[in-house]
Structure 1
Amino acid sequence: MNPRSRAGASWDAIVVGGRVAGASTALLLARSGLRVLVVERARRGSDTVSTHALMRGGVLQLRRWGLLDRVAATGAPPVRRATFHYGAESMAVSLKPYAGVDALYAPRRTVLDAILVDAAEEAGARFRFGLAVTDLARDGAGRVVGVVLRDHGGVSWTERARLVVGADGRGSVVAGRSAAPTIAAGAHAGSYVYGYWPAADLDGYHWYYGDALSAGAIPTNDGVACVFVGGPQDVLADATRDHGPAAAHRGLLARLDGELADRTAAPPYGAVRFFRGMPARLRRPYGPGWALVGDAGCWVDPLSTHGITDALRDAELLAVAIVSGSASEHAEGIALADYQAQRDRMALPMQPIVDRLASHEWDLAEARRLLRGLSSVMADEVEAIRGFDLAPTRTA
C-alpha cells in the first residue's frame, strides 16, 4: 500500500465521468491494483452524442486491452472500406491489415461505454451513477484531495482521494474548478444535425464534402447508421430554428448529396438532434492532486471523428503516469508532466487540420489536402500506440 494513500484518502483515484475516457482510465488503474471510484452524473447505460467511428488507433487500444472481441460480439459491423465523396467524385479506400487491426468499428455509445464499464468493474473499480460533482475538496495548501458529491435527493458529502481525474467532457467541472489553463485553442467550430436510419447495406464509412457542408454515414449496431450533416454554426442554427432538426437535416443533405438524402428518406429511428460545436481546446491536463483526460483536456471538432480514439489513447497515457508517479508528490509531478508531453506530441499536429476542416470554408482541393494531412497524423499516432506498454505496474 502506498503510504501517502493511507493518510486520509479513501481512494487512490476518483474519476469524474464514467464514459469512454473515464471508464478506460479506471479500467487500467484498477488492473494495476489501485482503488478507484468512478462517479458519473448520468444514469447507467444512457446514450450520449458521438460520431461512433473508431479509427485504427482506437481499435488497436481495444484489442490490446482484450476488449475488441466484446465489441465485435455486439454486432457492430466490421468496417473495411471508407469512401470519400468530394462533390460528384468518390474515392474508396480499403483498410489494409496493420498493427493487428483488420477492421474498424463504430459501436453505439450505449454499447461501447457499457463494455468499458463492465471491464473496469471486473478489474475492481467501483462505479456510482447519478451523482453530481459540485466542487473539489482541497487541503490547507490548496492541493485537490477529493470531490464534493450531491445525489438526486440533494444530499452532499465529500469523497477523498490521492488524485482526482476529470473525465467529464468539454464542460468539465474538474477543469473549471481547478482553473486548468488552455495551452492551445482553435478559431472555428462546426455544428451538426444527426440521426439514425436503416443502413444494413452500407459498405463502410462514407464521408462527404462540398457546398460548405460536410456529412457522414457511419454503420453501427442493429443495422442502422448514424447520418450527420455539418456546416458553419450560423447555417446549421438558422436551418434548425426555421425548420426543425429533421427538416433541416433533409434539406442540407439534399444540397450536399442526393443519394445520401435518399438514404434518409425513410423515417429515422428516434429523434433527429442538433449539436453545436465549439473551437478546439487543449488544456494543461494536470495540477496538484488533479488530472484531465478525454474531452476535458483535449477537445477537437467532431468532424475529426477522432474523439473516442483520443480518449482511449490518453486514458492509457494517464494511467501509466498515475501508477508510475504513486510513490510521492514529486514523482507524480514528473509523471504527469510526461503524460502531457506525450499527449501533446500526438494531439497538437491534428488541431490546425481539424480547425480548418471545422470552418467549412475550404474548397474540394483543400479538403483533400487536409484529409491527407489528417491521415498522416493518425498513422504517426498508431506507431506511437504500438510502443505503449500494455499494462502499467504499480510503484510500491
Structure 2
Amino acid sequence: MSYDVIVVGARCAGAPLAMLLARAGRSVLLLDRSRFPSETMSTHWVLRQGIDLLAEWNLLNDLFATGCPPITEVRMDFGDVVLSGVPTTASGATAVTCAPRRFVLDNLLVRAAVEAGVEVREGVAVSDVVWEDGAVVGVTGAGFTERARLVVGADGRNSTIARAVGAATADDRGALTATSYAYWSGLDVSGVETTIRPGCGVSMWPTHDGLTVVGLVLPRQDFLSRKQPGEQIYLDSLAQFDRLRGCRVESRVRVATNLRNYHRRSHGPGWVLAGDAGYHQDPIGAHGISNAFSDADQLSRTILRALDGGVRIERGLARYEARRNADRAASFEFTCGQAALRPVNDFDHVLSAAAAHPATASELLGMFVGGRRIEQFFAPANLARMIGG
C-alpha cells in the first residue's frame, strides 16, 4: 500500500501533524520505535503558542481533563530583582500555560491521531529511507518497506531520517548547558517559579498527580568538570535551596549534557523534517514542545496545499523552512544568549522597570511564557516606552 504521507516519530511534532493531515482526508502512516504511553526527556512546559494550538485542535480541554494543572502565575527571582505576577499576551489577556507529564501528553496526541484515521504502528524502528530517481519514496525497517508521496522525519535530535537523507546542519552553536530534572512531592507550587543565580538556574513547574518538575540548568563545562554522576550533581546543587527542604524526590533524575542549538536543512526531494529533527534550541527557554506544535501546524498546511495542487511540493517545503527559520531567529539568538549566560542588551534596565511597574512585569513575564514575541518586546520603541527612553 502507498500512503500520501509517512510520518516517522509520533511525539509532539509527528502525532499532531499526522492527525491534521488525516482530518483533511489524507492517508497517513505514523511510525515510532516507542510504545505509548511512555516517557521522554522534556522541559514539560507548553508555552502560550502551544496552548493556542491545542485549543485550535480541540485537545486542550482533553489535556486539562487528565489532571494537568493550568498555570497562570510566574515568579522569577533574579537575585536583586524578583518579579511575580500574571503574564500577559500582546492583547493583554492572561497567558495561560501548563507542564504535563510527557507520557500523558504524547499518548493523548497519538490517540487523537488514531481517532482522526491515522494508521499508527508503535514499537517499529525505521532504519533507512527508500530512494527512487533521486527522491525519497518511502521508508524501510526490519521486515517492512512502505511507500508514500512524502516522508516526514519527526524523530527527534538524533533523527534517522535526517541521517538517511544527509540533511546538512545550517547553524550549530553547540551544547551550552547541562540540564537535569526530577519529580518532587511535598512542594507547594501553584505556578512557575524560576531562580537565576550566577552559573545556575532552577525552575519548578506543577504537573500531574500533585508533583512538581524541578529542573536544574548549569553551564555545560562546569557540569562536566565536576566529574561526578549527574544525579549527584543535581541533588548537591539543589541542597542549598531552602524551598526544597522537607520535599522528596519521587523519580530518577534525568540528565542531558549534549543538547545542541542548531537547525538543519529540512527539506529535499520527497522528504521534510519537523520538530527537533530540524530545529533545536537549548531547553533553558522551554520552546521545544510549542515549536513542535507550530511545525505540525505550518507543515500540515503546506503539505495539504501541495497535495491539493495549489503549490509545487518542493516550493512549498522551501517556504516552510524559510518561514520557520525567520520566525525563530530572534528566539534562537535570545535562547543561546541565555544558555551562554551572556548579558542581554538593556535587560537590566527592563528588570528595573518591571520591578517598579506591575504592568511592565506582566509584559516581561509574558515574553518568557511565549505570550509576546521576543523581537517585538525588545524593539527599540517598546524598550523606550518601558524604560523611558
Same fold (TM over 0.5): yes
Write the distance in 2 (CA, Å) between the matches of 1:378 and 1:180.
Answer: 32
SS at match of 1:92: strand
Paired AA for residue 252 in structure 1: S
Q: Deviations over 1:156-207 (max 9, x none)?
A: 3211111000000011111111111222222452111210001562020111
SS at match of 2:372: helix
- Matched with 1:32 is 24
Q: Residue 367 of structure 2 contacts residue 374 of structure 2 at CA under 8 Å; is this kept in 1?
A: no
Identity of matched residues, %: 33
Write the distance in 2 (CA, Å) between the matches of 1:368 and 1:219.
Answer: 30
SS at match of 2:98: coil
Matches within 5 A, 1:5-20: 10-20=2-12
Q: Residue 325 of structure 1 contacts residue 334 of structure 1 at CA under 8 Å; is this kept in 2?
A: no
Give the superposition deviation at 1:335: 1.3
- The 1:299/1:373 distance shift into structure 2, 3 A limit, reads farther
- Matched with 1:104 is 97
- Matched with 1:394 is none
- Matched with 1:260 is 243
SS at match of 2:35: coil
Matches within 5 A, 1:193-272: 193-199=180-186, 201-239=188-226, 241-242=227-228, 244-254=229-239, 258-262=241-245, 265-272=246-253
- The 1:147/1:100 distance shift into structure 2, 3 A limit, reads farther
Matches within 5 A, 1:255-334: 258-262=241-245, 265-327=246-308, 331-334=312-315
Give the superposition deviation at 1:102: 5.5
- The 1:101/1:14 distance shift into structure 2, 3 A limit, reads farther
Write the distance in 2 (CA, Å) between the matches of 1:254 and 1:116.
Answer: 36
Give the superposition deviation at 1:296: 0.4
- Matched with 2:381 is none
- The 1:112/1:138 distance shift into structure 2, 3 A limit, reads same
- Matched with 1:75 is 67
Write the distance in 2 (CA, Å) between the matches of 1:328 and 1:162.
Answer: 13
Q: Deviations over 1:32-84 (max 9, x none)?
A: 11111111011221100111111110000000111100011011111111111
SS at match of 1:52: coil
Write the distance in 2 (CA, Å) between the matches of 1:121 and 1:111.
Answer: 16
After superposition, the CA RMSD in angstroms is 2.8
- The 1:261/1:251 distance shift into structure 2, 3 A limit, reads farther
Q: Residue 170 of structure 2 contacts residue 264 of structure 2 at CA under 8 Å; is this kept in 1?
A: yes
Instruction: Judge which range, 323-332 or 218-227, deviates more.
Output: 323-332
Residue 120 (structure 2) pairs with residue 137 (structure 1): no
- Matched with 1:167 is 154
SS at match of 1:352: helix
Matched residues, number: 363
Write the distance in 2 (CA, Å) between the matches of 1:36 and 1:164.
Answer: 10
Give the superposition deviation at 1:92: 0.7
Q: Residue 190 of structure 1 contacts residue 232 of structure 1 at CA under 8 Å; is this kept in 2?
A: yes
Q: Residue 78 of structure 1 contacts residue 103 of structure 1 at CA under 8 Å; is this kept in 2?
A: yes
Write the distance in 1 (CA, Å) between the matches of 2:81 and 2:56.
Answer: 37
Give the superposition deviation at 1:277: 3.3
- Matched with 2:119 is 126
Write the distance in 2 (CA, Å) between the matches of 1:222 and 1:368.
Answer: 39
Q: Deviations over 1:248-281 (max 9, x none)?
A: 21221245xx23342xx53311211211133311
Give the superposition deviation at 1:211: 2.1
Write the distance in 1 (CA, Å) between the matches of 2:47 and 2:296.
Answer: 16
SS at match of 1:87: coil
- The 1:136/1:381 distance shift into structure 2, 3 A limit, reads farther
SS at match of 1:195: strand
Write the distance in 2 (CA, Å) between the matches of 1:58 and 1:210.
Answer: 28
Residue 84 (structure 2) pairs with residue 92 (structure 1): yes
| Moved segments of 4+, more than 6 Å | 367-371
Give ranges in structure 2 of 5+ residues lacking alignment.
352-362, 377-389
SS at match of 1:162: strand
SS at match of 1:51: coil
Write the distance in 2 (CA, Å) between the matches of 1:338 and 1:209.
Answer: 38
- The 1:169/1:78 distance shift into structure 2, 3 A limit, reads same
Q: Residue 86 of structure 2 contacts residue 94 of structure 2 at CA under 8 Å; is this kept in 1?
A: no
| Equivalent in 168, 179, 186 of residue 166 of structure 2 | 179
So what's the TM-score if we normalise by structure 2?
0.86
Q: Residue 86 of structure 2 contacts residue 365 of structure 2 at CA under 8 Å; is this kept in 1?
A: no
Write the distance in 1 (CA, Å) between the matches of 2:344 and 2:200.
Answer: 10
Write the distance in 2 (CA, Å) between the matches of 1:35 and 1:48.
Answer: 27
Write the distance in 1 (CA, Å) between the matches of 2:273 and 2:221.
Answer: 31
Give ranges in structure 1 of 5+ residues lacking alignment.
1-8, 151-155, 384-396
Write the distance in 1 (CA, Å) between the matches of 2:335 and 2:186.
Answer: 27
- The 1:195/1:325 distance shift into structure 2, 3 A limit, reads same
Write the distance in 2 (CA, Å) between the matches of 1:121 and 1:231.
Answer: 40
Q: Residue 188 of structure 1 contacts residue 356 of structure 1 at CA under 8 Å; is this kept in 2?
A: no
- The 1:227/1:211 distance shift into structure 2, 3 A limit, reads same
| Equivalent in 334, 338, 344 of residue 325 of structure 2 | 344
